[in-house]
Structure formats: structure tokens, C-alpha cells
Chains A and B, each alone.
Chain A
Amino acid sequence: MSEQSDPAAQAPQADQAVPSEPRRLTRPETEWQRVSPRYIPVDMLGILVFGAAVTVAGFTPFWLGWREGWVIGAALGAIVLVTLALTPRRVRAIGYLLREDDLLFRRGIMFQRFVAVPYGRMQLVDISRGPIARAFGLAELKFVTAAASTNVLIPGLPLAEAERLRDHLVAVAETRRAGL
């Protein structure tokens, strides 16, 4: 686990600026479990609802008579549109991996984040379903440890899979229980 994490093709010892060296974080693992593609419309709908509200609020100064105020609303709207357009890629970047003794979780393209949580540190597992996700038969699973910053939230799991994953996590946590 502790050896170099670059793909084999790269030169890991190069500290100087080698143009071919990747800039982003890479992991040797390839067999990531991905979330359901049905989560893409769920996420987009959520962004749309929130983004519409924010955009409308952004136009308020314009309607109140400030003639250049439309810039705020337009900028907010543009941000929402870009976020919407990037949603499929962002959802495809979410992944998790059940390793021998810990759970590996990744998400983000622009802001990449990898988390490793030992099963034994589990305090509880939450499954929750919002109204939109329920309509698509999806659920999200939250792995809670004693540290709030762990923040492992796997969205877009089909309900049956989420429940299976929860039962599995509880079972392995029981056999590898560690203290606080």
C-alpha cells in the first residue's frame, strides 16, 4: 500500500517539472464501485431547484430599479448552468472500494478527495432518501465515525444495494471493532 502510487508509466522520482507527469492525484486501484447513473438526473434536478431560486434572488436588485443589477443574476445563472453541465462527470467521479480492513471513498474532479476509513472506527451507518431520489429508487449512505470531518457520504445507491452495503459494513465493523 505504501509504495509509489503513480501509474506505472510515469517516472515517480522526478521532482522537477516533467511535462508528462500528471498533476492530479492518482490511485493504483482500478476496480472502483461507481454510483448509479440514475443519480445524474437526481443531482441535476436538485441543482436546478436550488440554482433557480438563487438566480431569481440574484435578479432582485435589477427588478428593484438598479439597471446594471442584471449582471449579478446572469452571473449566478451562468454558474448554475456550468455546474449542471458538469454534473454527469462529477457523478461518474464518485466511487468507493471495500478493501480488506477499510473503506476507500473518492469524489470530485476539480476538488479531488480520497478518504480511507477503517471499518472498526464506524459509529453508525445512515441511509437517507430525499423525495427526488426516492422517485428514482435511490438512497444515500453515510458512514459516521467519531470525527465529524470524516464526511463519507455515498449518494446515488439503488436502495437494495445501499441496504446490502449497510449490512455488510455493520458486519465487518463488528469483527474489527476498535475503540474510540
Chain B
Amino acid sequence: MTDPTPPRTDFADGEWHRLHPATPLFRGGIAVIAILGVLIVNLRDRLLAMVVGGDGADLPPTGGDLEADAIDFIVRENLVLAALAAAVGVLLLVIAGFWLSWRVHTFRITDEVVEVRSGILFRTSRKARLDRIQGINIARPFVPRLFGAAKLEITVAGNDASVPLSYLRGADADALRRDILLLASGAQRVAPQTGQTIGAASIGGMLEERVTDLLAPELDVEGLAPESVVRMNPGRLIGSTLLSDTMIVLVGLLAAVAITGVAFGELVLLFALLPGLIGVGGFLISRITRSLRYSIAATPDGVRVGFGLLSTTNETLPPGRIHSVKVSQPLLWRPAGWWQIAVNRASRSTQNGAAGQQQTTILPVGNLDDVRAVLRLLLPEVATDERAPVLDQGILGRDSEGGWTVSPPRARVLRWFSRRRNGYLVDEAAVLLRTGAIWRSLTIVPLTRTQSVSVVQGPLLRALRLGAVHVHTVAGPILPHIGALDRADAMRLFDDVATASLRAARADTSHRWRQA
């Protein structure tokens, strides 16, 4: 069972390849080993008794324990050999099954598609077009990571629409990602690089390799301009988690229960708090560990976001795969000047990634400089240098300064504090919607990605001669819309977005981003 694919970049040659030989172990074999372990522990007493002497009949009665009864029966009927043979047979069958499933689980990557075939009795085959790729995710769950294996996931638009290659050797996964992105970008196929091949190292060398792999930063920053990398400050991460709205609600609830408990002398209630406290602690720790060692960087094939301490994920989003971006600030982060950034993307995952992170939060927390840097990475065609003042106006500013159109004074009834901030701006690349004076947020929708636009007016808005505009993008945490605009402004925004998005879509080449 040696891996038949020695050189690094041979995976993307259009031939069928197999996955990491230890794949069955990672995918389910560990459960089998655990079951065996439980069985052995349970039989230990009996085995000891057998070895020390005396037969099973001398053991204290186990009170109708089915397992013990079965073993008694086997021993009594002299079926030990037969039972052992059966056990070995089952074990062999399981191993053969795993081996066979590994044999038939193959994948290939051609210039056009990536295809995976698997299954022994129920064959499945999944094929995805390379120019439809929405992102490539390399996940390293903890146990496979110890063995240097990684899972490569190629996501396309849709719910859980991904082609997983689990598992590959870590270095192979990195190389394969580069090759797939190169093929998908529409660049001409380059001659296979003669990169260092991973030879069969000695045991010591392998151990060393594992250790460096575990300690290495999640992002390989080879060939990246250092200023294009944004990293996470642990203190800020912990602070922002403690100050999040969810945390405040949780702490408030716990405090309320504790106070009632003390006030009414029902100290039992304090014990009831214990699970809650454990839950809060778990939430804190999971949030912090998953965002620790967060990094984001620009690569020639899109922006790369890495997360995770023990289980890591590392996702590459090619250019033009981000459908909208929202910069927002929870109220409690305001004194510290922290912001977060979420995105809408066409690929949705109902389960969380390996590290349990929300795949839509691109920047968990950062200051204004981080926000500017990340925006430049996410939307390079929108967040240009000359647009920087406009974006700053969108994040912090108010009134019409910088070309923004805001709600008219009569909208104050609906926007008590944010009337002067509630506004929009459309230029040739994006539509920017600025809302909220207390919970400030800026939504940016690149015009190449808008699906449609609508303008609406209900009885309340009509009475005030106002209108609201919704920009439709793929489903996600962001619903880009702006309300309480003057009816003429709303209609103008509607028309501007409708015409500008047509123009942008015509000029868009991001599905083959390197094909000029």
C-alpha cells in the first residue's frame, strides 16, 4: 500500500489518483479501534483470570450481564477457537472493506473539471467545473493533522456543493491547491515545476517534519508581500469576545439567576448555574481558539484566510467570488475602535468548517487599519487608493460629504439618530450602503455580483414620501438594503444600480481571472 504518486504536481495531470493511504483510518477507522479498545478493557478481568488460572465458572456471577453470559457460553461449549476465528474473520473483512473503499476512492483533475469517484456498492461520482470554483479550503482536523494529512475541499455555488478530497498529504494538498487555482484561472498550463519531492524519510525525519508542521504558521507566506498580511492580536481577540453582545446577554442572565438565588435564599439555584458557566466558558474558549492564529493574505489567485489552533482551516477565495461585504461595529466595541467584516458567498456550508468557525466572518475583529487592509484584499477593484476617503466616509462619516446621498430631514421619524448617516453611494465598481449611527455598518456590493435590485414603498414610507431599496445578492448573513430615502433618491439609486450592474457584468472576466 505505498502511495503510487511520488512527485508533487502530478495530481493535476488528468489521470485518476488515489488519496492518502491512511484515509480509512481518519474517516472511520479510529472508531473501530476505539470499539476494539472498549471490548478489550471489558474482557480484561476475564483474560486475567484465564491466564492466572481457574476457569470462567469460578468468576463471581455477573448478574445477567449479556456479554459475560455469552462468554460463559463460549467457554462452556469449547467454542473459544471458533469465536476467535470469527472475530479475526470480521476484523479481516472490515480491513478489506476499508482497503477496497480506499482503492475505489479516486479523483482526477483535468483542465476543465475536478471529479471524484467513490463507493463499493453504491458508486458515487461528483464532478465540478473548474471555472465555477467559489473557493478552495484546506482543512486539517486535529488527528489527521498529527499524521500530516489534510483535507482539500473544492467548493462551488450551492448548499454544501463541494468536492472533498479527504485526505491528502499536507504538502500535496498545498501543491494541488496551487495547481487547481492555476488551471481555474485560465492561465496557460505551465510545465510541472521540479519542486522538492517528499522522499521516504527516516522515522526521525518524519517525526521532525510532523513537529515543524504543527508549529508552522498556518499561512505559508512564501512569495507574499508582507504588508498584504493581516494577523490577529490575541489580546484584542479575547477582549472583543468578552465584549460581544452574546457574552453580555449570557453574563446578564447568569447574574440575574445568581441574584435571585441569593435574594430568595435558594442557594440550590447557584448549583444550577454550573452548566451555564461551563457553557459560557466553552463558548469563549472555542471562539478564541478558532480565531487564534487567524491570518489573511493576498495571493495571485485570490485572498487566503487561515484559522485555527489545533484543527486548522485555510481557505482561498479566488477574485470575484465575494458577493457582498459588510463592515460593522457592535456597540461595545466602539470605545476600542474595533470592527468586524462578514461576506456573502455563493457557496454555503450547513456544517461548520473543521475548526467550527463561521465561514462568513472574514475578519473576526480588527482596528480601522486592519479593516482598510482587508477590504483592499477582498475587493481590490473597489477599495482602491483613490476610493479610500469614500470608504472612510462610509465607515465613520455622515452627511453628504464625499458624494454620499443621505435621508431627507423628514426621515428623522424613522431614523432617530442615524438620519444624517443613512445614505448610499454608487460608482462604477460598487454600491455602498451606509447605515446606523449606534450600530454602525457599511455594506459594499460589487456591481459585478448584484443579481437584481428592487425599490419598495409601503404605507408608512408613502406617508413620508420615502422609499427603500434592496440590492439582491446570493443568500448569506448580509441583506444589502437601505430604507428611508427620499422617493426620488430611491428611484435614482434603483436606476443607477440597474444600469451600472449591466455595464459591470459585461466587463466582468473574473470567472477566468488570469485570462485578460
Contacts and interface: CB of A to CB of B under 8 A. Distances in A.
A178 B472 contact: no
B487 A2 contact: no
Contacts of A73: none
A27 B491 contact: yes
Interface string B451-466: 1111111110011010
A149 interface: yes
B508 to A, nearest CB: 6
A67 interface: no
Contacts of A43: none
Contacts of B492: 2, 4-5
Contacts of A149: 470, 472, 475, 479
A149 B344 CA distance: 14
B462 A23 contact: yes
Given A4-B488, A23-B462, A114-B494, A145 B346 contact: no
Given A179-B320, A180-B157, A25 B491 contact: yes
Interface residues of A, number: 38
Describe A's contact surface by its main secondary structure: loop
Contacts of B132: 180
Contacts of A150: 451-452, 454, 472
A116 B505 contact: no
B496 interface: yes
A8 interface: no
A120 B499 contact: no
A112 B510 contact: no
B157 to A, nearest CB: 6
Interface string A36-79: 00000000000000000000000000000000000000000000
A17 to B, nearest CB: 7
A1 B157 contact: no
A46 B103 CA distance: 58
A149 to B, nearest CB: 5
Interface of B: 132, 157, 320, 346, 408-410, 448-449, 451-459, 462-463, 465, 467, 470, 472-475, 479, 486-488, 490-492, 494-499, 501-502, 505-506, 508, 510-511
28 contacts: A1-B499, A5-B491, A23-B465, A23-B487, A25-B487, A27-B491, A110-B459, A111-B459, A112-B457, A113-B455, A114-B454, A115-B454, A116-B452, A116-B453, A116-B454, A117-B451, A120-B502, A120-B505, A121-B452, A146-B451, A147-B451, A147-B475, A176-B506, A179-B320, A179-B448, A179-B508, A179-B510, A180-B346
Contacts of B490: 25
A128 B33 CA distance: 54
Nearest to B158: A146
A15 B505 contact: no
Across the A-B interface, give the 9 residue pairs with the lowest CB-CB distance, nearest first.
A147-B451, A147-B472, A178-B505, A116-B498, A117-B452, A5-B491, A115-B454, A145-B451, A150-B452
Contact of A25 (B346, B455, B499): B455
Contacts of B409: 15
B397 to A, nearest CB: 21
Nearest to B504: A178
Given A25-B457, A114-B455, A146-B346, A180 B505 contact: no
Contacts of A26: 491
Nearest to A149: B472
